């Protein structure tokens, strides 16, 4: 079968389209024919070696497809089931082996493309709005990269929670997408000061939470956007790694809170994984949550998909089709 391998850390040129042996499910695993794989910034970090895996490895943490075989004793899924998964390495391939308890059955109303598009970014948006800082009516939040895959979903979920949502984007075209997702206010951060906008929107008080996936270029103004005892949820670093932070900054800006959450700790149990998936699938099925799948790339063109993602040329979800 074909797979995308990383033999040495590096840029998009480090992505190698190779023949590899078909995987065989071990105890507790299922073999899945991958019909769509999601492209995410965590894949870029792993390709570059910011998040390290022993090389060589098959990239990709999210996908959906059809179960082809299961190991002896596996009963939670069976051949023919349509499933999706996230936070499992090896999804940039024509087939993948996945622990059966990490697979989520897809409802008949959802395609495998939708299943691959919703898992990592959707669950990230879900835990941010429902667990990291549980939004409620009357809250105001800032969502950076509001037209990105997580940003569009997080904006919609925040509105479902009753929050007032301020997003930041880089272009007027992205601003239109963010507005269409329900953002109350959109800030063009290339020409406008989002900290000033957040203070203005709250009568000078500041917002309850900033959801920041950008990192280096935004985090200090994100602190400045918060109300006293507000929370900065730093869940990504697309502009670069944030340097060590003096905790006195948090005191000086209003007894602030800082957290660096990651998805794997919010879907650690099968129960939590399935409950978050149920919420997302229900919202998509009812039309309350709309997916934007912008580009499908053939698996062999994974490098082009990474270039587009890193160049901030994408909005919504990017998929690979094996």
Confidence of residue 84 (pLDDT cuts 50, 70, 90): very high
* pLDDT category of residue 57 using cuts at 50, 70 and 90: very high
Bridge partners, residue 36, by sequence: 64
pLDDT of residue 238 exceeding 90, the answer is: no
pLDDT tier for residue 316 given thresholds of 50, 70 and 90: confident
The tens digit of pLDDT for each residue in 98-153 reads: 999 999 999 999 999 999 999 999 999 999 999 999 999 999 999 999 999 999 99
Percent of the chain with pLDDT over 90: 95
- Asked whether residue 312 carries a pLDDT value surpassing 90, the answer given is no
User: Distance between CA atoms of 273 and 291, rounded to whole angstroms?
Assistant: 19
pLDDT at 32 (0 to 100): 98
Least confident range from 159-163, 200-204, 311-315: namely 311-315
What does the pLDDT read at residue 68? 98
Q: What is the pLDDT of residue 314?
A: 82
Record: fold of 2-120+267-321? Quinone Oxidoreductase; Chain A, domain 1 (3.90.180)
Q: What is the average per-residue pLDDT within 269-273?
A: 96
Q: Which two tokens stand for residue 97?
A: 């082996």
**Closest residue by Cα to residue 114 from 138, 83, 88, 154:** 83
pLDDT at 315 over 90: no
pLDDT at 8: 98
* Cβ 179 vs Cβ 200: under 8 Å: no
CATH topology of domain 137-260: Rossmann fold (3.40.50)
Q: Helix/strand/coil (H, E, C) string of 70-99?
A: ECCCCCCCCCCCEEEEECCCCCCECEEEEE
Across 15-29, 256-270, 290-304, 306-320, least confident range:
306-320
137-260 shares the fold of 2-120+267-321: no
The answer to whether residues 63 and 20 touch, using CB atoms and an 8 Å cutoff, is: no
Mean pLDDT value of segment 257-267: 97
Hey, where are the domains in the chain? 2-120+267-321, 137-260
1 band by pLDDT with thresholds 50, 70 and 90: very high
Tell me what the mean pLDDT of segment 260-282 comes to: 97
pTM summary value:
0.93
User: Which residues pair with residue 16 across a beta bridge?
Assistant: 5
According to the model, what pLDDT value does residue 313 have?
82
Q: Which residue has the higher pLDDT, 225 or 315?
A: 225
Helix axes 112-127, 149-160, angle to 10 degrees: 60
For the chain, what is the mean pLDDT? 96
**Residue 250 has what pLDDT?**
97
Instruction: Report the C-alpha gap between 36 and 111 in whole angstroms.
Output: 10
8 A C-beta contact, residue 165 and residue 180: no
Q: Quick check: 296 pLDDT over 90? A: yes
Q: 209 by DSSP, 3-state: which?
A: strand
């Amino acid at each position: 079968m074909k797979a995308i391998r990383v033999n040495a850390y590096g840029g998009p040129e480090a992505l190698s389209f190779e023949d590899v042996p078909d995987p065989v499910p071990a105890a507790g695993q299922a073999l899945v024919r991958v019909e769509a794989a999601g492209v995410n910034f965590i894949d870029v970090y792993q390709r570059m070696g910011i998040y390290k895996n022993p090389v060589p490895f098959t990239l990709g943490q999210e996908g959906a497809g059809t179960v082809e075989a299961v190991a002896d004793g596996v009963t939670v899924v069976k051949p023919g089931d349509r499933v999706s998964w996230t936070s499992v390495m090896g999804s940039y391939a024509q087939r993948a082996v996945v622990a059966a308890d990490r697979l989520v059955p897809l409802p008949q109303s959802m395609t495998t493309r939708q299943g691959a598009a919703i898992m990592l970014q959707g669950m990230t948006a879900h835990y941010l709005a429902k667990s990291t800082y549980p939004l409620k009516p009357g809250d105001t939040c800032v969502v950076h990269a509001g037209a990105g895959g997580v940003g569009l979903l997080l904006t919609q979920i925040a509105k479902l929670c009753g929050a007032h949502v301020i997003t930041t984007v880089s272009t007027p075209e992205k601003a239109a997408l963010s507005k269409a997702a329900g953002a109350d206010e959109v800030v063009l951060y290339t020409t406008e000061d989002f900290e000033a906008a957040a203070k203005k929107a709250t009568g000078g008080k500041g917002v309850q939470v900033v959801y920041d996936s950008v990192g280096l270029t935004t985090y200090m103004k994100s602190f400045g956007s918060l109300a006293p005892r507000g929370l900065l949820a730093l869940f990504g670093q697309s502009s670069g790694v944030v340097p060590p932070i003096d905790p006195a900054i948090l005191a000086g800006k209003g007894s602030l809170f800082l957290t660096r959450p990651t998805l794997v700790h919010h879907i650690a149990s099968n129960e939590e994984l399935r409950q978050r998936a149920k919420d997302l699938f229900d919202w998509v099925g009812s039309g309350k949550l709309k997916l934007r799948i912008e580009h499908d790339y053939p698996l062999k063109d994974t490098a082009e998909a990474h270039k587009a993602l890193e160049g901030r040329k994408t909005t919504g979800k990017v998929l690979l089709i094996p």
